[in-house]
Structure 1
Amino acid sequence: MSKSNRAAMDIGCPACDATVNTSVPPGPGIVEESDSNRLRGSETVCRSCGHELELYYY
C-alpha cells in the first residue's frame, strides 16, 4: 500500500456551508533559525456551489 505525502482535510465552504474534502502537500513548517518561512498556498473548488477556496499553510 502506498502512502500519500499530502495531508487530507475537511473545510467548510463559506458560500454554501458544504464540507469540502481537500489535501495539501507537506510544507517545511516554521523553522526559527530560518528567514525563509514562506507561506504557501493551494486552491480547490466547492463541488456544491463552485466557490473557489484558497488554502494557505507553512
Structure 2
Amino acid sequence: MSEEPRKRRCKEKNRTSITLYYNNKQQGKQLSKFFCKIAKDIQRMYDNTVDRVNTGKGC
C-alpha cells in the first residue's frame, strides 16, 4: 500500500473529528443555556414559594 492514500485518509479523519468536536461544543453551549434557564425558573419558583410561606399567604 502506498503512503499517499493513507495520509489522505488520516487527514480526512482528523477533519471529521474536529468538525464533530466543534458541533458537540456548540450543542454543549446550547444545553448549558437551556439548563441555566431551567435552574433560574426553578429558583424563581422556589423564591415565590418561600415568600408565600414566610408571609403566610398561599398554602
TM-score (norm 1): 0.22
**Per residue, is there more strand in 1 or in 2?**
1
Greater RCO (CA < 8 Å, at least 6 residues apart): 1
Q: Which has the larger radius of gyration?
A: 2
**Per residue, is there more helix in 1 or in 2?**
2
